[in-house]
Structure 1
């Protein structure tokens, strides 16, 4: 098996230069780097990054754990973080916890065993994720992103839900909608809880109450479809809650579709996936968006702009979040905990009315 000494002899440089050129720990000229890389390739030498990490206590890698990479929200976040870390010459090790607390804990142990320099995690659960994250934070710097564990000291970077849902509710009210309902995930993670609270506070600012109890399920399209089905059934002419349609009158009363829809005139969703399901479910039932019901999402994933109709939503500033994570990772761990809430950007599209009804 070739050694670092073999590479140094073939390249005509010192072993220290070989180490620097292959690890990127210190600047090396382009010509020297190319000679070392060619020599290593010719000999079949592979740089042992783990051994270097054990010697230097620096692996130049950051671990990241997300609940479900198939959710389009998380690839956008991961891509922004990975792109930002590359600027600092740091690699990203990505783990998917598959919405399983045991898997989440195992992923964290794996990353600390690999001597990563820090971990960025979006926790599965607002309380049950605490033990595993606390253990990891005792070994390496940990930054919570998007979601957070209650009562756990440390850094957090995420979206300002109060600003985001405040703007969405303001938009709907300004365009004549008064009977609003919230459709989101079960309140078992901080993101779901914060968004539900933000929705209720935003309604209260306008002197309004929700037109119906919140529908809570999962952050996915199938739940949005189910929520739309329930709305149409509950507020159709023959639905069990038909009497509720008179509450909060003052906006569009037109009805069409299965059973004659007369329920909430605005559906505020906890994320874009739910909103896309709601759009599809209302369309199947013959309920017109936005004429009868306005629909909003949150996140601005790629599918939001090409849905039918295009989805009004809040765009998260992924790059800003990534920049803040990189900055916090460079800080002295003794510098205290920081909470950084980044305002999202309103994207108004066809799923909400363009103006007040005439």
Structure 2
């Protein structure tokens, strides 16, 4: 029969016959105590089924091991993938990450940042909403808590920004499409949820001018994060009206492209590089689902590992430097063109 439940470390130290400081030292690092002491503590753990409140222990440290990770929309597999990579790297380094999603809501993003302060985090990795964010709230948080921004940049905020080079994405897709067929139109939302979309449109206009082609930007109504639905609805209208000025389309992101491909299927329009296809579709991101669309999506790929690794490394450097860098740094990773059946 088991003994009574132990409520705290002081009670456990008393029943195990080990001093409170030694017990605490064991829970921070079992190898830091002598083997005989470790065996005695572990035998007592089996007897009393005691497990310390690691969260409370963490909060009592001057510098906790807590890491906050905030993304705009965790239901998006892109953010789920990059957050998974970041979490694994934090855990491997001995930190305790906590993941939050603002669900595209600026007021929730601000609420999350306010709540993170109570965790006394060693640092925070923040992918902000960007244009929709409450800049003053994010700015104040970054002053109070060591923060590295990733994926979505807000100029001047945070100690550093790690992300992808949007010009690299678009320059590769535009160059490929113009070299292999008609120059593409650019398919986007009128009110993009992510500031990267604006940078991609600007890159498209620049590349078309550089290559000597007339640009065609097709902006569809819609806002928020339901990109597939918005893309399909907008594409159905454009395609039914035969309003596309070219037989090649470059979508701002893969999720819009997935909606575009769905509209093409519904209307019986064949997409791809084969002679019986009437439309080519390419995009940007290499979304985790892009290889499974029909046809599979030609896209410019994020360096998921590069962004994840560098984001975590930069945050650790920031923590070790006392929470501040001499100046704000930005690191951009180039894209990699992946050719598939859609273009």
* TM-score interval, normalised by the smaller of the two chains: 0.7 to 0.9
Q: Which residue of 1 aligns with 2:8?
A: 3
Provide the rounded CA distance (Å) in 1 between the counterparts of 2:106 and 2:140. 14
The answer as to whether partners of 1:118 and 1:142 remain within 8 angstroms in 2 is yes
Pair 1:334 & 2:334 matched = no
Return closer, same or farther for 1:103/1:71 CA change in 2, 3 Å cut-off.
same
Per-residue CA shift, 1:265-312, capped at 9, x if unaligned? 111112211111101101211222122221112222221111100011
TM-score under structure 2 length normalisation:
0.86
SS at match of 1:308: coil
Aligned partner of 1:233 among 236, 240, 246 = 240
Provide the rounded CA distance (Å) in 1 between the counterparts of 2:37 and 2:246. 68
Greater displacement, 127-136 / 267-276? 127-136
Q: Which residue of 1 aligns with 2:61?
A: 56
The answer as to whether partners of 2:142 and 2:157 remain within 8 angstroms in 1 is no
The answer as to whether partners of 1:179 and 1:264 remain within 8 angstroms in 2 is yes
**What does 1:249-264 correspond to in 2, within 5 Å?**
263-264=245-246
Return closer, same or farther for 1:125/1:216 CA change in 2, 3 Å cut-off.
farther
The answer as to whether partners of 1:185 and 1:192 remain within 8 angstroms in 2 is no
Aligned partner of 1:310 among 296, 299, 302 = 296
Structure 2: which 5+ residue stretches go unaligned? 1-5
TM-score under structure 1 length normalisation:
0.82
Provide the rounded CA distance (Å) in 2 between the counterparts of 1:30 and 1:74. 44
SS at match of 1:131: helix
Q: Which residue of 2 aligns with 1:93?
A: 98
Per-residue CA shift, 1:286-342, capped at 9, x if unaligned? 222122221112222221111100011122122211211122112223322111111
Q: Cα offset for 1:234?
A: 2.8
Q: Which residue of 1 aligns with 2:306?
A: 320
Return closer, same or farther for 1:42/1:300 CA change in 2, 3 Å cut-off.
farther
Return closer, same or farther for 1:227/1:158 CA change in 2, 3 Å cut-off.
same
SS at match of 1:298: strand
Aligned partner of 1:130 among 109, 132, 135 = 135
**What does 1:200-211 correspond to in 2, within 5 Å?**
200-211=205-216
The answer as to whether partners of 2:126 and 2:150 remain within 8 angstroms in 1 is yes
The answer as to whether partners of 2:146 and 2:324 remain within 8 angstroms in 1 is no
Provide the rounded CA distance (Å) in 1 between the counterparts of 2:15 and 2:193. 59
Aligned partner of 1:155 among 153, 160, 165 = 160
The answer as to whether partners of 1:192 and 1:270 remain within 8 angstroms in 2 is yes
Aligned partner of 2:258 among 276, 288, 294 = 276
Return closer, same or farther for 1:127/1:232 CA change in 2, 3 Å cut-off.
closer
Return closer, same or farther for 1:31/1:337 CA change in 2, 3 Å cut-off.
farther
Give the alignment's Cα RMSD to 1 decimal.
2.6
Q: Which residue of 2 aligns with 1:293?
A: 279
Aligned partner of 2:203 among 198, 203, 208 = 198
Provide the rounded CA distance (Å) in 1 between the counterparts of 2:36 and 2:235. 62
Q: Which residue of 1 aligns with 2:334?
A: 343
Return closer, same or farther for 1:103/1:325 CA change in 2, 3 Å cut-off.
same
Q: Which residue of 2 aligns with 1:221?
A: 228
Structure 1: which 5+ residue stretches go unaligned? 236-240, 242-261, 353-358
The answer as to whether partners of 2:232 and 2:260 remain within 8 angstroms in 1 is yes
